[in-house]
Amino acid sequence: MMNTFAFVIYPYLALTAFVVGHIYRYRTDRLTWNAKSSQFLETGALPVGIILFHYGVILALLGHAGGLLIPQRIYDAMGISGHSHTLVAYYAGLLVGNPAFIGILLLLYRRVARTRIRATTTMNDFTTLALLFLTVGAGLYNVLFGHYEVLYTVAPWLRGILTLTPAPELMRNVPPTYKIHILSAFTLIGFAPFSRLIHIWSAPVGYLFRRLVVFRRRTVRA
Amino acid sequence: MKIKAQMAMVLNLDKCLGCHTCSIPCKNVWTNRAGAEYIWFNNVETKPGIGYPKKWEDQDLRKGGWQLKDNRLSLKAGGRIDKLVNIFYNSDLSTIDDYYEPWTYDYGKLASSPARRHQPSIRPVSQITGENMDIKWGSNWEDDLAGVTETGGGDVNFRGLAHETYLQFKKVFMFYLPRLCEHCLNPACVASCPSGALYKRDEDGIVLVDQERCRGWRYCVSGCPYKKVYFNWKTGRSEKCLFCYPRTESGQTTLCAHSCVGRIRYVGVMLYDADRISEAASVEDEKGLYPRQTDLFLDPNAPDVIDAARTQGIPEPYLEAARRSPVYRMAVDWKIAFPLHPEFRTLPMVWYVPPLSPLASLADADSPETIIDRMRIPLTYLANLLTAGDVEPIRLALERLMALRSYMRANRLGDVQDDETLHRLGMTPEIADAMYNLLAVAKYRDRFVVPTTHRETEVEPHEFQGACGFS
């Protein structure tokens, strides 16, 4: 029962909140849709922390997508065995997980230790950071000490969730630190549209293609 | 030829008395909010000095504006790819300490203080943290040269001058520099915005921040060489001077200009050729930037310009205003107004008439120095500020202003007119009279020639709420 709630109902609740939340927020609250940067108030540990964290987390997300969403049989067909897949995932996890975790420690320290930053941090910001800390921390712990085979358990379960064919029994024997990582990640997904994380969707790719100096003309009735 | 209209301003520094009256209504109307306490869309600085934020003019440090690299115009802080790769941390951004930490006082403590031997006093309290703080800088920190012996060396306008000499009491000089957004023809802030939130209004060139599209990447703040785009630390968005467009659209002038007690400000429309912008901003020799920008402006009385403008849909009130533009007369006809730091290559549109100053030394019969060279404010300093270091245009403007004074003095006293000097400076008695009228006696309608806009002809104006500079 608990297993079904945690690995079927809860993920779908989170994904629903994620989709509906973003649409709702974009339609009703565009004025607060930004990164809420605190660089202007104080830098301190920010430059190192923020660069480590962002690059670490973005690469980690791409790694998760590549490793979990694509079934192992496709990798097998490409000649990449489950063993070598896990090995690549382990070293890639070390390579991006460590900077992401160090980054988040530095950012968390700055949030708490610097008066100006603490004074301008909301509960929402702290919640976001705490969830990120938990997710990244548990993720890195699993890379370092977990050594659990996820390719035939967590990975197909996740694909089941996304293809609307949930298979919670796959999660039954997964170690608790993996469950923590997964549950905090889904909490983060559900919370994201109500937090500062929405700035992810504003990655300014259009800047590469537009004219540098923008003119805007208003439409006038003929 | 692509004709566009642009709102522009001229400030006659010869008449600025440094009273800060311009800053007050601007502050009260536009930046009197949490997160914007430290923001002054209009502020008055004393020159020499390093200003607000500190050293805003030093682009080796601040990396604002454009540069010419391999004969191509590019943003000094780096191009598109550079910005996207470094989007997480803007290494060129100044912090709030370069402006000042906003503060208030717990005034209640004055009233609730028990009777004591001495007057009660209260300490400044940070509006960010709520803790006691020391005030270390401000938007008018260097007022009337306060602390200039410490900071003056950092003033880049001393380039080519021995600043120690001019900071000695006997040689010292000063004048005021009121500053606001330049509403540039080639704005670096607009070009720097990754989100495309900043834009120039097509109808009058006013530069605005779309508040609903601003994602707080902060590149406009570091990209503007005048540091006139500000980061609201509370909302996480950028804000800037709106040229008071809700007023100008109804034919009124800006708050800063309206409130100026010295009547130093002039607002008018300029027509320019938008096809030649990048060409004018890419002149190799920095000293060529000022004359090339002047060449961009089209003669609003020329029949072919009027015809072309009408065909391209410039509304009639704009053409009428351009014909009577006080800015055009001072900048183009008389050449007594100059852009602020044209070497930033943004083609700024708030121009300045350089100030005359008292004579620093007595005339020496053998010296080739003219009266202009003996003025307290060194020509080179003004040239570094207004013409990228070219002293000749500044000299000509100051000579014209001096000739105007001699002309009026002779008029008043019934002396013989020195027509030769007027003629040598390219002036006639008619021009001198017109200059006198505009510089000394002009009334509201002559100083501010602002066309009205017909917003009622617009489709769905409510859809633009929040996209026009303020929310």
Q: Which residue of B has its CA nearest to A46?
A: B89
Q: pLDDT at residue B367 above 90?
A: no
Distance from CA of B226 to the nearest CA of A (A): 17
- What's the number of domains chain B is made of? 1
Cβ–Cβ of A43/B95 closer than 8 Å? yes
Residue B462 is predicted with a pLDDT of: 81
Average pLDDT value for residue range B357-383: 86
Question: Residue B340 is part of a domain; what is its CATH number?
Answer: 3.30.70.20
Contacts of A43 in chain B (CB under 8 A): 95
**Dist. CA A213–CA B220, nearest whole Å:** 12
Coil/strand/helix, residue B61: helix
Distance from CA of A207 to the nearest CA of B (A): 5
Q: What is the pLDDT of residues A25-34, one digit of tens each?
A: 999 998 899 9
Over chain B, what is the mean pLDDT?
95
Contact call for residues B421 and B429 (beta carbons, < 8 A): no
- Which among A37, A46, A216 has the least Cβ separation from residue B202? A216
In a domain, A25, yes or no: yes
In a domain, A211, yes or no: no
Structure tokens, A87: 């090995």
Other CB atoms within 10 Å distance of the CB of residue B279: 13
In a domain, B234, yes or no: yes
Percentage of chain B beyond pLDDT 90 is 90
Identify the DSSP state of B413.
Answer: H
**Given CB atoms, is A210 within the 8 Å cutoff of chain B?**
yes
Greater confidence, B424 or B366?
A: B424
Q: pLDDT at residue A220 above 80?
A: no
In a domain, B101, yes or no: no
Identify the DSSP state of A204.
Answer: -
Angle, CA A155 vertex, CA A154 and CA A161 arms, to 5°: 85
Distance from CA of A58 to the nearest CA of B (A): 12
Q: pLDDT at residue A125 above 90?
A: yes
Q: pLDDT at residue A216 above 70?
A: yes
Cβ–Cβ of B216/A50 closer than 8 Å? no
Q: pLDDT at residue A222 above 70?
A: no
Which contacts qualify for B74-82: CB closer than 8 Å, 24 or more apart?
Answer: B75/A212, B75/B188, B75/B191, B75/B192, B75/B223, B76/B188, B76/B225, B77/B192, B77/B219, B77/B222, B77/B223, B80/A207, B80/A208, B81/A208
Q: What is the pLDDT of residues B228-268, one digit of tens each?
A: 999 999 999 999 999 999 999 999 999 999 999 999 999 99
Average pLDDT value for residue range B377-399: 97
Given its phi and psi angles, is residue A174 left (phi above 0), alpha (psi -120 to 50 degrees) or beta?
beta
In a domain, A17, yes or no: yes
Q: pLDDT at residue B471 above 80?
A: no
- Helix (H) / strand (E) containing A74: helix A72-77
Interface of B with A in 51-90 (CB under 8 A): 75, 80-81, 83-84, 87-90
What angle in degrees, to the nearest 10, is found between the helix axes of B303-311 and B316-323?
Answer: 160
What angle in degrees, to the nearest 10, is found between the helix axes of B391-413 and B429-436?
Answer: 90
Contacts of A213 in chain B (CB under 8 A): 186-187, 190-191, 200, 277
- Which among A30, A41, A55 has the least Cβ separation from residue B95? A41
Question: Residue A150 is part of a domain; what is its CATH number?
Answer: 1.20.950.20
Q: Can you spell out the DSSP letters for B69-106?
A: ETTEEEETT--HHHHHHTTT--TTPPPHHHH---EEE-
Average pLDDT value for residue range B119-125: 94
Contact call for residues B344 and B57 (beta carbons, < 8 A): no
Residue B456, judged by CB atoms within 10 A of its CB (0-12, 13-18, 19+), counts as exposed
SS3 of B206-271: the string is: CEEECCCCCCCCCHHHHHCCCCCEEEECCCCEEEECCCCHHHHCCCCCCHHHHHCCCCCEEEEEEE
Greater confidence, B114 or B454?
A: B114
**Dist. CA B188–CA A212, nearest whole Å:** 9
- What's the number of domains chain A is made of? 1
Q: What is the ipTM of this complex?
A: 0.92
Q: How many CB pairs under 8 A join A and B?
A: 134
In a domain, B401, yes or no: no
Interface of A with B in 22-61 (CB under 8 A): 30-43, 46-47, 50-51, 54-55
A107 phi and psi angles, rounded to 5 deg: -65, -40
Bridge partners (DSSP) of residue B266 are: B10
Distance from CA of A74 to the nearest CA of B (A): 32
Q: pLDDT at residue B364 above 80?
A: no
Cβ–Cβ of A219/B186 closer than 8 Å? no
In a domain, B406, yes or no: no
Cβ–Cβ of B212/A31 closer than 8 Å? yes
Nearest to B9 by CA among B199, B241, B270, B333: B270
Average pLDDT value for residue range B167-183: 95
Distance from CA of A38 to the nearest CA of B (A): 7
Q: Whole domain around residue B446: which residue ranges? A: 1-88+139-355+442-456+467-471
In a domain, A55, yes or no: yes
Residue B139, judged by CB atoms within 10 A of its CB (0-12, 13-18, 19+), counts as buried
Cβ–Cβ of A214/B90 closer than 8 Å? no
In a domain, B272, yes or no: yes
With tokens 């009385």, the residue in question is B301
Contacts of B231 in chain A (CB under 8 A): 37, 40
Distance from CA of B73 to the nearest CA of A (A): 11
In a domain, A114, yes or no: yes
Cβ–Cβ of A220/B458 closer than 8 Å? yes
Contacts of B203 in chain A (CB under 8 A): 217-218
Angle, CA B303 vertex, CA B298 and CA B305 arms, to 5°: 30
Identify the DSSP state of A65.
Answer: I
**Given CB atoms, is B207 within the 8 Å cutoff of chain A?**
no
**Given CB atoms, is A2 within the 8 Å cutoff of chain B?**
no
**Dist. CA B426–CA B307, nearest whole Å:** 30
In a domain, A219, yes or no: no
Nearest to B353 by CA among B12, B7, B6: B12
Distance from CA of B191 to the nearest CA of A (A): 4
Q: pLDDT at residue A155 above 80?
A: yes
Contacts of A212 in chain B (CB under 8 A): 75, 190-191
B343 phi and psi angles, rounded to 5 deg: -70, -10
Contacts of A110 in chain B (CB under 8 A): none
Residue B470 is predicted with a pLDDT of: 85
Average pLDDT value for residue range A63-73: 94
Distance from CA of A1 to the nearest CA of B (A): 43
